[in-house]
Amino acid sequence: MNTNRPTWTKPWSYKEGILISLSLLVLGFGLEYLSNGIGTDNLLIYPNNLYMGIIIVTLILFLAIIGKSWTITEWLQSTAAAICSIGLLLLVSLLMGLTLQYDDGAGETIRRLGLSHILTSWQYLLANLLLLLSLGLTTIKSIWNFSWNKLGFTISHLGLWIVIFGGNFGSIQLERLQVKLIEGEISNIAHNNSGSPIKELPFAIKLNDFILEEYNPKIALVYNEAGIMFKDESSSIVIAELGNYGTISNWNIEILEYIYSSAKAGNKYYQINEPGAAPSAFIRATNLTGTTVEGWVHCGSFNRQYESLKLDDEYSAIMLFPEPKEYISKIEILTTERPPESISLEVNKPYYIDGWKLYQMGYDYELGRWSNTSIIEVIRDPWLRIVYAGIFMMLAGAMFMFWVGSKKNMK
Amino acid sequence: MGWIKEKYEIESIINEFTMDWINFPIYTCFILIIWMLGLLFVSINSKRRFNSTLGNLLLIFGVLMLIAMLSVLWINLERPPLRTLGETRLWYSIFLSVVGLIFYWRWKYNWFLVFSFSMSGLFIILNIIYPENFNKSLMPALHSGWFVPHVVVYIISYALLGASSIVAVKQLFDTYVKGKSSSNAISLADNLVYLGFSFLTMGLLFGALWAKEAWGHYWTWDPKETWAFLTWSVYLIYIHGRIKDSLKENTAMWVLAFGFIILLICWFGVNYLPSTANSVHTYSKT
């Protein structure tokens, strides 16, 4: 880096880069403040995102073809511009990483400067534009001077450009809605987050059955007086499973009997199948001095009282609520054109139909496995394929990097 | 209740036999010994062709045994062994050792071979010491084929980038305190960052692909994601800064040292930041 060169004379480098980045940052904060903290929320809506995209691509092509030898174009293709533009986006993202986003309790100044909604702030938009320009021109240059040796460079840069572009301007068209289903009923109305109906879907969904699988519940100790759980690094729970045993604090706990679905009659629990019949276990607790306590613990449910077992003045044994392992909605998709389709929808396994992805999202948490409602999330993202193309290009680029490594080692 | 106890004692013994975990320590101790021998042969006088070949064969044999064990477990459990923490640790062990070998063949770094096999062995030893973790329950969002690649790739990347910042800190110390620095150290740092960054990119993108399947969108700027992006950006700056020595060497070393702080915040610190009140990435809250 030649430090004797006067600023703004060719070729631009870090000095100009830092000035440009800081000016954009100040401009961003200024626009945000003047727009009263509304940000770019109303600006970047469909179809404005498409116009924005066309303008950016045209600008990049214009600079690459007409302004090929301009000082600014050469700077945008330089390493200094890459570092300054990544640095600016890093700075803006750092603000996002440090402040609570979309916080209704944010102070007036914080909100007006866009710090409570960085993603829709002017400073974030400007930082992305600078990066897209620099990255776009660098990519075009490497495509025009294409060589097989630099294939990894070209695809990783092009991939990143597509991901940033599609992720920022494309995902504005993302539709993310919910359908609340009740067993035996059919619905095609999608709601937004706050529950107001938004849209009629091109298909209807019928919930035939909602199934929730649970892990065996855990047995833990609580302090009688404080009512809080005993916790230890090594072991603070015993899984309720016939024959299982373990040590918590100074008590050795054995599970002598375990019933997954049970109810109390007299002073004993029996196997019974009805809504709210929750797990119970007959346990034996022995402490180091040989004192033995035996009795039932029961975790309770929305309509059953829990039962704990007092061990001594300090501790009682309790059974925690079982944790969900998997939940599945057995649904039927009804369309006008095709015969109905029966599918099992579970977490991590979305189902794709007519441009929409269906996700198992939630259920009635209070009723747990007796829930007869299921919440399905429906998502449409017309840009997904484009962004995925970018992601796979970046992955390929990363594999090139793994194989080729640092250039300095290619002796 | 005496008969119940006897009954469950017998039952639990039978269960353990069919589970195959009871034989775990015997098999794995054997694998660990084979690996140690392999590393010994590779490290000691590796210029002799015989030593190097024998060492490599021993290491490969150990890895194959581990894969065979996992396959038997898969068949016995009648489901992919990806559910419990102990099972995923087995996958780490296999991935780490395979990556270590491929890496070694490509770059000939002995230390990386020792490092990756030690990490792999550590996971095996953890499985022997804490067998009760085999039953650890995973929340539904973590039941995914992406879980293992995402986590393993990140672990490798963090380890490499961590090593690169050790180099950076030593280099800065040498420059400012001793007044001299070595160019060897910088090219070592470059290598570590390039390899670590390629894994970091893969981990980040695997995470994005998984997020689409589990949470509906590939990127939601959840605090963990924001910090993962910040980490990725800092190393991206370092890599660009090293092109034709665009940044002064000292500045580059500062970037590397700073990058590790961001990485640590991303890994451990995020949970303590005010911005994480609504994060979906915190699994340890109970």
Q: Tell me what pLDDT residue A233 has.
A: 54
3-state SS, residue B226? helix
Mean pLDDT of B127-132: 68
> Looking at chain A from residue 133 to 162, which residues have their Cβ under 8 Å from any Cβ of chain B?
none
Question: What are A245-280's pLDDT values in tens digits?
Answer: 888 888 999 999 999 999 999 989 999 998 999 999
Which of A319-328, A376-385, B7-16, B101-110 is predicted least confidently? B7-16
Q: Are residues B148 and B131 in the same domain?
A: no
Residues recorded for chain A: 411
Cα B211–Cα B213–Cα B218 angle in degrees, nearest 5: 35
Query: What is the identity of the amino acid at A342?
Result: S
Kindly compute the dihedral angle of the four CA atoms of residues A57, A59, A65, A66, in this order, to the nearest 10 degrees. Answer: 160
Distance from CA of A265 to the nearest CA of B (A): 19
Cα A259–Cα A324–Cα B71 angle in degrees, nearest 5: 95
- In the β-sheet with A197-214, what is the strand arrangement from edge to edge? A341-346, A324-334, A197-214, A186-191, A175-182, A373-380, A356-363, A351-353
Last residue of a domain, one of B138, B157, B173: B138
Residue of A nearest to B227 (CA): A97
Q: Are residues B134 and B161 in the same domain?
A: no
How confident is residue B115, by pLDDT bands cut at 50, 70 and 90? confident
Contact A79/B243 with Cβ under 8 angstroms? yes
Whether residue A117 is predicted with pLDDT greater than 70 in this model: the reply is yes
> Looking at chain A from residue 40 to 69, which residues have their Cβ under 8 Å from any Cβ of chain B?
none
- A304: tokens are 């059953």
Per-residue b or e along A166-190, where b marks 16 or more CB atoms closer than 10 Å to that residue's CB: bbbbbbeeeebbbbbbeeeeebeeb
> What distances in angstroms separate CA A245 from CA A206, A286, B130, one per listed residue?
44, 11, 15
Say how many CA atoms lie within 13 Å of A302 toward its Cβ.
Answer: 11
Q: Does residue B280 belong to any structural domain of this protein?
A: no
> Of A87, A97, A394, which has the smallest distance from its Cβ to B226's Cβ?
A97
Q: Tell me what pLDDT residue A11 has.
A: 87
Residue B151: CATH number of its domain:
1.20.120
Q: Are residues B129 and B257 in the same domain?
A: no
Q: Does residue B286 belong to any structural domain of this protein?
A: no
Gyration radius (Cα) of chain B, Å:
22
- B271: tokens are 């949970």
Asked if residue A197 has a cis previous peptide bond (ω within 30° of 0), the answer is: no
Per the DSSP assignment, residues forming a β-bridge with A344 are: A330
Question: What are A148-193's pLDDT values in tens digits?
Answer: 888 999 999 999 999 999 999 888 899 999 999 999 999 999 998 8
Question: What are B23-63's pLDDT values in tens digits?
Answer: 677 888 899 999 999 999 888 865 678 888 899 999 999 99
Contact A311/A283 with Cβ under 8 angstroms? no
Which of A91-100, A216-225, B69-78, B242-251 is predicted least confidently? B69-78
CB neighbourhood size of A239 (10 A) = 17
Whether residue B282 is predicted with pLDDT greater than 70 in this model: the reply is no
> Looking at chain A from residue 73 to 92, which residues have their Cβ under 8 Å from any Cβ of chain B?
79-80, 82-83, 86-87, 89-90
Which of A70-74, A207-211, B116-120 is predicted least confidently? B116-120
Of A108, A86, A211, residue with least CA distance to A157: A86
Better-predicted residue by pLDDT, B141 or B228: B228
Mean pLDDT of B87-107: 79
Distance from CA of A6 to the nearest CA of B (A): 18
Q: pLDDT averaged over chain A?
A: 90
Distance from CA of B256 to the nearest CA of A (A): 14
The whole domain housing B220 covers: 142-274
> What distances in angstroms separate CA B274 from CA A110, A261, B230, one per listed residue?
15, 41, 17
Most confidently modeled of A171-180, A225-234, B201-210?
B201-210
What is the Cα–Cα distance from A296 to A219, expressed in whole angstroms?
A: 11
Distance from CA of A97 to the nearest CA of B (A): 6
Question: What are A307-333's pLDDT values in tens digits?
Answer: 999 999 999 999 999 988 888 999 999
Q: Are residues B187 and B103 in the same domain?
A: no
- In the β-sheet with A309-310, what is the strand arrangement from edge to edge? A238-239, A218-223, A315-319, A309-310
Q: Tell me what pLDDT residue B84 has.
A: 63
- A62: tokens are 């214009």
| Residues in contact with A109: Cβ distance below 8 Å, sequence separation at least 6, in sequence order | none
Contact B244/A408 with Cβ under 8 angstroms? no
Chain A residues with CB under 8 Å of B143 CB are 326, 347-348
What is the Cα–Cα distance from A254 to A238, expressed in whole angstroms?
A: 8
> Looking at chain B from residue 239 to 258, which residues have their Cβ under 8 Å from any Cβ of chain A?
240-244, 246-248
Contact B153/B199 with Cβ under 8 angstroms? yes
B2 touches chain A (CB under 8 A): no
Q: Are residues B125 and B17 in the same domain?
A: yes
Last residue of a domain, one of B120, B138, B156: B138
B88: burial class by Cβ within 10 Å (0-12, 13-18, 19+)?
A: buried
Q: With an 8 Å Cβ cutoff, are A100 and B11 in contact?
A: no
How confident is residue B2, by pLDDT bands cut at 50, 70 and 90? very low
What is the Cα–Cα distance from B189 to B168, expressed in whole angstroms?
A: 7
Of A262, A282, A265, A266, residue with least CA distance to A274: A262
Mutate to test the interface with B, among A76, A77, A83 (most CBs of B within 10 A): A83
Per the DSSP assignment, residues forming a β-bridge with A210 are: A329
CB neighbourhood size of B55 (10 A) = 21
What is the Cα–Cα distance from A184 to B193, expressed in whole angstroms?
A: 56
Q: Does residue B264 belong to any structural domain of this protein?
A: yes
Q: Are residues B187 and B77 in the same domain?
A: no
Question: What are B166-186's pLDDT values in tens digits?
Answer: 788 888 888 888 887 777 778
Better-predicted residue by pLDDT, B209 or B13: B209
Query: What is the identity of the amino acid at B131?
Result: P
Residue of B nearest to A231 (CA): B286
What is the Cα–Cα distance from A381 to A399, expressed in whole angstroms?
A: 28
DSSP string, A347-407: TTB-EEETTEEEEEEEE-TTTGGG--EEEEEEEE-TTHHHHHHHHHHHHHHHHHHHHH--G
CB neighbourhood size of A132 (10 A) = 22
Q: Are residues B149 and B256 in the same domain?
A: yes
Q: Mark out the alpha helices in chain B (DSSP H runs).
A: 2-19, 24-43, 49-77, 85-107, 110-129, 147-173, 183-215, 223-241, 249-267
Q: Does residue B33 belong to any structural domain of this protein?
A: yes
> Of A93, A176, A398, which has the smallest distance from its Cβ to B216's Cβ?
A176
Question: What are A89-112's pLDDT values in tens digits?
Answer: 999 999 998 888 877 777 888 888
What is the Cα–Cα distance from A346 to A212, expressed in whole angstroms?
A: 10
Chain B residues with CB under 8 Å of A96 CB are 221, 226, 275
Residue in this structure with the two tokens 């301007």, named with its chain if needed = A169
- A215: tokens are 């892990």
Q: Are residues B242 and B263 in the same domain?
A: yes
Contact A122/A39 with Cβ under 8 angstroms? yes
Mean pLDDT of B117-140: 72
- A307: tokens are 């039962």
Q: Tell me what pLDDT residue A163 has.
A: 97
Q: Are residues B105 and B7 in the same domain?
A: yes
What is the Cα–Cα distance from A306 to A301, expressed in whole angstroms?
A: 7
Query: What is the identity of the amino acid at A218?
Result: K
Per-residue b or e along A105-122, where b marks 16 or more CB atoms closer than 10 Å to that residue's CB: ebeeebbbbbbbbbbbbb
| Residues in contact with A389: Cβ distance below 8 Å, sequence separation at least 6, in sequence order | A159, A162
Question: What are B184-201's pLDDT values in tens digits?
Answer: 778 878 888 998 999 999
pTM value is 0.81
- B9: tokens are 């004692």
Contact A303/A277 with Cβ under 8 angstroms? no
Q: Are residues B7 and B133 in the same domain?
A: yes
B185 touches chain A (CB under 8 A): no
What is the Cα–Cα distance from B110 to B105, expressed in whole angstroms?
A: 10
Whether residue A288 is predicted with pLDDT greater than 90 in this model: the reply is no
Q: Are residues B190 and B91 in the same domain?
A: no
Q: What percent of chain A has pLDDT over 90?
A: 63
Q: With an 8 Å Cβ cutoff, are A243 and B202 in contact?
A: no
> Looking at chain B from residue 142 to 161, which residues have their Cβ under 8 Å from any Cβ of chain A?
143-144
Last residue of a domain, one of B138, B162, B180: B138
Q: Tell me what pLDDT residue B11 has.
A: 45
Which helix (H) or strand (E) segment holds residue A179: the answer is strand A175-182
Q: Does residue B52 belong to any structural domain of this protein?
A: yes
Better-predicted residue by pLDDT, B284 or A34: A34
Of A135, A327, A102, residue with least CA distance to B279: A102
How confident is residue A85, by pLDDT bands cut at 50, 70 and 90? very high
Query: What is the identity of the amino acid at A192?
Result: N
What is the Cα–Cα distance from A13 to A126, expressed in whole angstroms?
A: 20
Of A298, A332, A336, A293, residue with least CA distance to A315: A293
Q: Are residues B115 and B178 in the same domain?
A: no
CB neighbourhood size of A26 (10 A) = 11
Better-predicted residue by pLDDT, A291 or B280: A291
How many structural domains are present in chain B?
A: 2
Question: What are B233-260's pLDDT values in tens digits?
Answer: 999 999 999 988 888 888 999 999 999 8
What is the Cα–Cα distance from B261 to B271, expressed in whole angstroms?
A: 15
